[in-house]
Amino acid sequence: MSKAAVIGGGISGIAAAFYLQQYGVDVDLYESGDRIGGRIGSGCTGGRWFDFGGKNIGRKYRRFREFVTEIGGLDFEYFGFNTSQVINGRVVRLNKEKQRLFNILRVLSLAGFGGTLKLLPLLQAVHKDYGQGFLNTSYFNAIADRFDKESLASFFPKSCADHLVRPLTVRMNGAEPDECFPGNFGSNLALVLDSYEQLQQGMQGMLDRFQAYAQSVQLLTRHHVRALGRSNGKIVLDYTHDEKSARAEYSKVIVALPAVQASALFSGTLPGLAKLLGQVRYYPVAVAIVQYREDVFSSMQRAMVFDRSTSLSNAGAYGIHDLDIVRYTFSGKTARSGITQEMAPEEVVSLGEKIIEPYFNIGKNNRQFFLYKYITPGLCAYSPFHYRMLEELNELVKPVKGLFLTGDYRRGASLEACFRAASETVDLAIQGDKAV
């Protein structure tokens, strides 16, 4: 394989380009925006970059950490797990860093007896084999066969769904428990069973280092691929660059976009594939990062999850040493009904401040700056019987020689899941060459 194209400069595209380079393949990486990063992109103010998404890195993220080591010179710092939520007017705290037995008992009390019976076997499956904590695995595919006719809201008792399941789904999938399904829940539980760090240089530092490292990768920013087709045994890309239309041909193309965007590429040439990709659910999310004059949080209470009555799903300290910087996340049904892409960022931030003011130091704490981003397509919530959809997708793609798909709908939405999916996809592309 002399040269391949990767479409999409988010984390899945970066991972695909990285693994292709590891095999000695030259890559053209197409990105419609001004810079790579996609939904892990950052904003800059006061000379510092702040990450809108994907900044927490699990200790068990083996593939992603190997990538960070390979591109070189990036340091980790502890982030930990410290959160709380309001239940019936009472603040309930969870602190994974200390009081482990107390936290286990607290979780079990929130789950209730019925919830515990349902939850424990799933947790044990992921704890025993971390590989089950991704999409399309043997244990959770069997769960899907039995239970994906109902949502997580029906699968778990109400208390468990509201107080344990919902904080996971609105944060990771932008979705309510009644919009998520048991067969995909292992990817959520893997996050619970890990502990987390952050990159001291942030995700933007990682992106800068990747660009310096990737000598065999040509970054084609502001190149918007509009459609894919085939001609004379090649994959043909129709794209625009600075409003000028152009075409390019490759023997291998990896589409590394969210499923909803990938769907649009095939609407004219592979409508069956386009329809299937369009079944994968995505929900928008709004993120605000705000610095205040004084600390908002204490070291022992750095985050809070809010229930479905508010548009704010969670708010937390940006970092363990950034107690004056709040990261507001607006996701879930209430956020979707109340926050639109057209809303003024100031209005959204003010709404978040009003919600957290009773619990944290906000009242007379003046803002120093804020950054805001409305992300759509946002977070991936997959589909019921998702592994069957993936099997059908593979069958539709297989006859199209040289075409491969990866993304957050393959193995899950975490950084590690995106790297796992990209690694598997690149391996398939290389094996195809060896089989010729």
- Written as six digits, the tokens of 389 are 């959809």
| Residue 138 placed within a domain | yes
Do 109 and 185 belong together in one domain? yes
Q: Does residue 55 surpass a pLDDT of 90?
A: no
Mean pLDDT on 398-421: 96
Among 194, 222, 243, where does a domain finish?
194
pLDDT on residue 193: 87
Both 312 and 356 in one domain: the answer is yes
Specify the pLDDT at position 371.
95
Tell me how far apart the alpha carbons of residues 92 and 371 are, in angstroms, rounded to a whole number.
Answer: 29
Determine the average pLDDT of the residues in 137-149: 98
Q: Are residues 182 and 160 in the same domain?
A: yes
Model confidence band, residue 1 (pLDDT cutoffs 50, 70, 90)? low
Residue 122 lies in a domain: yes
Q: Are residues 18 and 163 in the same domain?
A: no
> Is 158 within a domain?
yes
Q: Model's pTM, two decimal places?
A: 0.94
Q: Can you give the pLDDT at residue 316? A: 92
C-beta separation of 336 from 173 below 8 A? no
Q: Which of 194, 210, 244 is the last residue of a domain?
A: 194
State whether 183 and 252 are in the same domain: no
Residue 46, Cα to own-chain centre: how many angstroms? Answer: 27
Q: Of 338, 355, 381, which closes a domain?
A: 381
pLDDT surpassing 60 at residue 98: no
Q: For the beta carbon of residue 392, count every other beta carbon within 10 angstroms.
A: 14
Whether the predicted pLDDT of 79 surpasses 90: no
Whether residue 27 is found in the same domain as residue 110: no
pLDDT tens profile 171-182? 999 999 999 999
CATH number at residue 339: 3.90.660.10
For residue 254, tell me if it sits in a domain: yes
CA distance 57 to 405: 24
> Residue 234 maps to which CATH number?
3.50.50.60
Judgement on whether residues 116 and 241 belong to the same structural domain of the protein:
no
In a domain? residue 74: no
240-248 long-range contacts (CB < 8 A, ≥24 apart) are 248/5, 248/28
Question: What pLDDT digit, counting tens, does each position of 259-296 carry?
Answer: 999 999 999 899 999 999 999 999 999 999 999 999 99
303 is a domain residue: yes
Beta 234-241 vs 223-231: how paired, if at all? antiparallel
Give 435's pLDDT tier (boundaries 50, 70, 90): very low
Domain count of the fold of the chain: 3
- For residue 87, what pLDDT is reported? 78
On whether residue 30 sits in a domain, the answer given is yes
The DSSP output letter for 370 is E
Within 10 angstroms of residue 189's Cβ, the number of other Cβ atoms is 20
Model confidence at 103, pLDDT cuts 50, 70, 90, reads low
* Shared-domain flag, residues 286 and 368: yes
- Is the preceding peptide bond at 377 cis, omega within 30 degrees of 0? yes
**Do residues 138 and 177 share a domain?**
yes
| pLDDT, position 95 | 63
Contact 140, 184 (CB under 8 A): yes
Domain, as residue range, for 9:
3-40+50-67+202-280+384-435
Tell me: pLDDT of 407 over 90.
yes
Let me know if residue 147 belongs to a domain: yes
Q: Return the ∠ at Cα 334 (arms to 328 and 337), rounded to 5°.
A: 110
pLDDT in tens, 214-235: 999 999 999 999 999 988 889 9
